[in-house]
Chains A and B, each alone.
Chain A
């Protein structure tokens, strides 16, 4: 599958813009860090969209995947293992093991039950880190050194971290695009539309759900794993279930089942939070209200189309 077909010229243009963004006039370290957060959480929301928008599963426990990824990196950095690649690999292993466990239990159930089980499992992880002194308890792991991309290339500036997050968003985007355009992706949509019918067409639905759960968790965990490089810490608060709720809000704002929407939704959420919360402390009331209005009046989100999956050709990849 050629990259161009997956991305299209719009996405290529967007990534070109993102690459050039740091050279925009008036770009300060503050804005670079803000852009880091916006793109990071945009990518996380996109990963969640694989579950919510394409498979129809609402996870209320994605903060745990993110937080576990962050802790995995933090634990290695704290012990002097600075290689970014080792950190990412370690995060994938930890998040993957946990995701398989959660997915095994949660995907045997539907709808609300799935949401609640992911929530409760995430809360176990949160409680564990919150009260385990080895990992800093409620303070988390602080004052971490920056990870190193390769010898002599530490990710110690906002600019370097920014490019890391652009690379993460880019690869996550390509991966998600490939998946939703694949046979696997079509089955996910069928499961969302009518799970029972999919079973009677010969699809082992729980296995598909488990697979997409783990994929979404790994992508989210990767996002978590690059977070300590920017923040120099990992705290249990990253795993609060209300953070999982915020991820859901990002997807809802952006639009279910569109991939692009949640990226915008996540970025929008981060920017709004930064801008509004510094002036008004009733930020979460506003966000809660926005969520209610979206659910009531535009259930596909601000940028969602009603039939996002319509008319895509079923041709074999070139």
Chain B
């Protein structure tokens, strides 16, 4: 594990300031601002098409914002490419499972962990293969995948692949973990288990978690604070018990239920 970082002289770890993103005429995000504190679990919810995934994509470097800034640990990371954002300590999982299908579970997590070894990106990486077995196995055990280590990733069950997805992100030793609907497609039982696991691992690794989630039971259970997006705008922010009673939120969900 990396040594503890020096805490930056702010109470926020991730700050999103006036972020807007348009695709042509479609405004996916409109002037969204958020401040996430170290160590908390912060959820972003909203009806379909509210701009949640766009928000993640802009923060993680996939898209450039039309306006606004993203600050991570008090540094401006707006518009940096995904690999640079990741190296700053911000890892992301994907809504649609995004793993390396035709190599083993161990090799999947291994290549993720290798990205943080000293020789990575240097000429010596051409002939050296640093040992990452220990952190990899530690992660696999935490997610109950240790016995599946030599299985090809594509042969895992859906739930296992969701876990592998999280292992990949965690193996890059992030300080902030962004989870895009981690329980998508899971059964209620699996969802409950996954929620517990995320909570436990976040605490054990003193992670900050930024979460997009559809399942309200998960969100209410796990979050310290919640922001609600509706048509690209932030309409509410606060702790679960406040959000639960917020009339604008209720209306957004009822009115926004266009499907």
Contacts and interface: CB of A to CB of B under 8 A. Distances in A.
Contacts of B148: none
A190 B127 contact: no
Q: Is the interface on chain A under 10, 10 to 19, 20 to 34, or 35 or more residues?
A: 20 to 34
A196 B172 contact: no
Interface of B: 60, 81-83, 86-87, 91-92, 94, 98-104, 106-107, 110-112, 114-117, 119-121, 125-133, 136, 150, 152, 168-169, 171-172
Given A307-B102, A310-B104, A315-B133, A205 B83 contact: yes
Given A199-B81, A307-B152, A186 B100 contact: no
Contacts of B136: 314
Contacts of A204: 83, 121
B98 to A, nearest CB: 5
Given A179-B126, A202-B116, 9 more contacts: A183-B128, A193-B102, A197-B98, A198-B111, A200-B91, A201-B91, A314-B131, A314-B132, A316-B129
Contacts of A182: 125-129
5 contacts: A181-B129, A200-B169, A307-B102, A314-B131, A317-B129
B103 to A, nearest CB: 6
A8 interface: no
Contacts, number: 116
B92 A200 contact: yes
Contacts of B129: 181-183, 186, 314-317
A179 B94 CA distance: 30
Contacts of B172: 201-202
Contact of B101 (A193, A198, A312): A193
Contacts of A189: 100, 103, 107, 111
Nearest to B100: A193
A203 interface: yes
A310 B152 contact: yes
A178 interface: yes
Interface in A193-235: 193-194, 196-205, 207
A126 to B, nearest CB: 31
A183 B131 CA distance: 10
A280 interface: no
A187 B126 contact: no
Nearest to A313: B133
Nearest to A189: B103
B125 A183 contact: yes
A316 to B, nearest CB: 4
Contacts of A311: 104, 150
Contacts of A181: 129
A1 interface: yes
Contact of B60 (A179, A200, A312, A317): A200
A186 B117 CA distance: 13
Nearest to A6: B127
Interface in A240-270: none
A311 to B, nearest CB: 6
B114 A186 contact: yes
Contacts of B169: 200
Interface string A164-202: 000000000000001101111011011001101111111
Interface in A293-318: 307, 309-312, 314-317
A198 B150 CA distance: 20
A68 to B, nearest CB: 23
A198 B171 CA distance: 12
A200 B102 contact: no
